[in-house]
Amino acid sequence: MKRCRGFTLIEILVAVAIVAVIGVIALGGLSQVIQQQTLAQERADRWREIQFAIRMVMQDFAQIHPRPARDELGDGWQPSVVASANAQFALELSRGGWANPTGFPRGSVLRVAYDWEDGMLVRYHWPVVDRAPGTLPIRTELLDDVAIVELNFMDQGGNWHQGEWPPIEMAGPERLVARPRLIDFTLELEDFGRVWRWVETGG
């Protein structure tokens, strides 16, 4: 009778070593796939944040209203659109189209402002256009890791004004209600680089 012959110790060790090598290779590949999937998810989430912020800005710019705002002390007026390095905010504007489905006793125009604070694009809005000193804004952080914010305005004559509105040469009542024809809004992001939109205003 033939004796049943099993595996030798060396054969078993070789087989275990081969299985171990295959396992290490498979684990490395799986780990790389998981890392790539995580990175892709993070970039997709980030891109959604950017799209949401840009959409919010575009909606505000597209519905600029010529309604000027009375200042907080009530003895003067601010133009419907204000952009200046010396102003409280980088950009402040009156925005129409404020929906009121519940019929509250208020207007359809609200005051909106944008600012750039420590790498964060921030949106403010007030429940009334003519706010009092105690009227606090609602603050919304739209986008982080913002390196640069640029605003340029095209007037009705097709001339560009860099970072300033109303134009310096504009005076009188026209200055209070003047709206740019086009706004060039540019963000320089730490991760995605340069993102810009041209928005035609409601005027």
Cα–Cα distances in angstroms (integers) from residue 29 to residues 22, 35, 88, 109, in the given order = 11, 10, 53, 56
pLDDT bucket at 135, cuts 50 / 70 / 90: confident
- Residues of the domain holding 185: 58-200
Instruction: Judge whether residue 58 has pLDDT over 60.
Output: yes
Q: Which residues contact 125 (CB under 8 A, 6 or more apart)?
A: 95, 110, 111, 112, 113, 137, 138, 140
What's the predicted TM-score (pTM) here? 0.77
Instruction: Express each pLDDT in 191-203 by its tens digit.
Output: 889 999 999 987 5
Residue 106, number of CB atoms within 10 A of its CB: 12
Residue 123 lies in a domain: yes
What CA–CA distance (Å, rounded) separates 23 from 37? 21
Which of 69-78, 125-134, 153-162, 169-178 ranks highest by mean pLDDT? Answer: 153-162
Reading phi first (left if > 0) and then psi (alpha if -120 to 50, else beta), residue 188 is in: beta
For residue 108, is it within any domain? Answer: yes
Contact 130, 70 (CB under 8 A): yes
Q: Is residue 88 part of a domain?
A: yes
How far from each other are the two terminal CA atoms of the chain, in whole angstroms? 103
What percent of the chain has pLDDT above 90?
55
pLDDT category at 7 given cuts 50, 70, 90 is: low
Q: What are all long-range contacts of 131-138, with beta carbons under 8 Å and residues at least 24 apart? A: 131/69, 131/72, 132/72, 132/74, 133/72, 133/73, 135/72, 137/113
Two structure tokens written together for 136? 């606090």
**Domain membership flag for residue 66:** yes
The CATH number given to whatever domain includes residue 163 is 3.10.610.10
20 within a domain of the structure (yes/no): no
pLDDT digits (tens, 9 = 90+) for 138-178: 999 999 999 999 999 999 999 999 999 999 888 888 999 99
- Give the 3-state secondary structure of residue 6: coil
10 Cβ neighbours under 8 A, 6+ residues apart: none
Answer yes or no: is 127 within a domain: yes
Q: What is the DSSP letter of 101?
A: T
Residue 1 has pLDDT above 60, yes or no: no
Q: 46 in a domain, yes or no?
A: no
Looking at the structure of the chain, the number of domains it has is 1
* CA of residue 57 relative to chain centroid, distance: 7
Residue 135 in any domain: the answer is yes
